Amino acid sequence: MSGSYDLNALFAPKVVAIIGASATPGKIGNTVIQNLIDAGYEGKIIPVNPKSTEILGRPVVKDVAGLPHGLDLAVLTVPKQFVLGSMEELVKIGVKSAIIITAGFKEVGGEGAELEKKIQALCIKNNIALVGPNCLGLINMSDKVNVTFAPGQPLPGRISCFSQSGALFTSILDWALGEKVGFSKFISLGNEAVLNESHILEYLGNDPDTSVVMGYMENIIDGQKFIEKVKEVTRKKPVVVVKSGVSSAGAKAAASHTGSIAGADNAYSTAFKQTGVIRAQSMSEFFNLAQAFSKASLPQGPNLAIITNAGGPGIMATDACEKTSLKMVQPASATIESLKKVLPSYASFRNPLAIGGDATATAYKAALEEIVADDSFNAVLVILTPTSTAFEHIEAITQGLIDTIKKTDKPVFPCFMGKERISIAEKMFQNADVPFFTFPEPAIESIETMYKYAQWKEREEMTYVVPERDKAKAAAVVEEAVKTGATEIVEYQAQQILKAYNMPALASDLATTADEAAAAAEKIGFPVVLKIASVQISHKSDVGGVKVGLKNAGEVRAAFTEVTERAAKMRPDAHITGCLIQQMAPKGTKEIIIGFKRDAQFGPLLMFGLGGIYVEILKDIAFRLVPLSKEDAHNVIREIKTYKLLAGARGEKGVNFESLEDVLLKVSQLAADFPQLTEADFNPVLVNSERAYVADVRLALK
Binding to its own copies (CB under 8 A): which residues in 314-343? 315-316, 318-322
**516 closest CA partner among 580, 473, 565:** 580
Piece of the chain touching its own copies by CB under 8 A; list 182-190, 225-233, 312-320, 545-553: 312-320
**77 closest CA partner among 135, 35, 122:** 135
Q: CA 142, CA 155: separation in Å to the nearest integer?
A: 10
Q: Give the interface size with its own copies as a residue count (CB under 8 A).
A: 74
* Strand-pair partners of 450: none
Q: Which of 75, 122, 310, 671 binds its own copies (CB under 8 A)?
A: 310
Interface with its own copies includes 642 (CB under 8 A)?
yes
Tell me how far, at minimum, the Cβ of 384 lies from its own copies, in Å: 9
Is the bond leading into 504 cis (omega within 30 degrees of zero)? Answer: no
Closer residue to its own copies in complex, CB, 425/670: 425
Q: Which of 79, 85, 152, 344 binds its own copies (CB under 8 A)?
A: 152
Tell me how far, at minimum, the Cβ of 471 lies from its own copies, in Å: 37
* CB 165, CB 218: distance < 8 Å: yes
Piece of the chain touching its own copies by CB under 8 A; list 91-99, 386-394, 507-515, 533-541: 386-394
* CB 251, CB 225: distance < 8 Å: no
* CB 231, CB 202: distance < 8 Å: no
φ and ψ of 630, to 5 deg: -60, -35
**659 closest CA partner among 502, 442, 512:** 502
Closer residue to its own copies in complex, CB, 313/627: 313
Tell me how far, at minimum, the Cβ of 613 lies from its own copies, in Å: 5
Among positions 99-118, residues that touch its own copies (CB under 8 A) are 108
Interface with its own copies includes 168 (CB under 8 A)?
yes
Piece of the chain touching its own copies by CB under 8 A; list 220-228, 467-475, 486-494, 643-651: 643-651
Q: Please write down the HEC assignment for all residues of 2-64.
A: CCCCCHHHHHCCCEEEEECCCCCCCCHHHHHHHHHHHCCCCCEEEEECCCCCEECCEECECCH
Tell me how far, at minimum, the Cβ of 247 lies from its own copies, in Å: 4
Among positions 612-641, residues that touch its own copies (CB under 8 A) are 612-613, 616-618, 641
Interface with its own copies includes 358 (CB under 8 A)?
no
Q: What is the dihedral of CA 114, 115, 116, 118, to 10 degrees?
A: 90
Among positions 396-455, residues that touch its own copies (CB under 8 A) are 417-423, 438-442
Interface with its own copies includes 254 (CB under 8 A)?
no
Tell me how far, at minimum, the Cβ of 351 lies from its own copies, in Å: 13
Interface with its own copies includes 548 (CB under 8 A)?
no
Long-range contacts of 318-324 (CB under 8 A, 24+ apart): 318/352, 320/440, 320/441, 320/444, 320/445, 321/444, 324/444, 324/445, 324/448
Q: CA 404, CA 398: separation in Å to the nearest integer?
A: 10
Q: CA 457, CA 114: separation in Å to the nearest integer?
A: 43
**Which of the 8 DSSP states describes residue 142?**
G
Q: CA 409, CA 377: separation in Å to the nearest integer?
A: 12
* CB 355, CB 310: distance < 8 Å: no
Identify the sign of the CA torsion 570, 574, 578, 582: negative
Tell me how far, at minimum, the Cβ of 300 lies from its own copies, in Å: 24
Q: Which of 242, 372, 443, 576 binds its own copies (CB under 8 A)?
A: 242
Interface with its own copies includes 357 (CB under 8 A)?
yes
Tell me how far, at minimum, the Cβ of 218 lies from its own copies, in Å: 6
Q: CA 168, CA 158: separation in Å to the nearest integer?
A: 19
Interface with its own copies includes 190 (CB under 8 A)?
no
Interface with its own copies includes 600 (CB under 8 A)?
no
Closer residue to its own copies in complex, CB, 151/549: 151
Q: CA 633, CA 624: separation in Å to the nearest integer?
A: 9
Q: Which of 77, 140, 153, 164 binds its own copies (CB under 8 A)?
A: 164
Interface with its own copies includes 165 (CB under 8 A)?
yes
Piece of the chain touching its own copies by CB under 8 A; list 11-19, 146-154, 227-235, 398-406: 146-154
Q: Which of 34, 52, 171, 635 binds its own copies (CB under 8 A)?
A: 171
Interface with its own copies includes 523 (CB under 8 A)?
no
Tell me how far, at minimum, the Cβ of 451 lies from its own copies, in Å: 18
Q: What is the DSSP string of 674-688?
A: -TTEEEEEEEEEEE-
Among positions 12-71, residues that touch its own copies (CB under 8 A) are 31
Interface map 198-237 toward its own copies (x if CB under 8 A): ------------------x-x-------------------
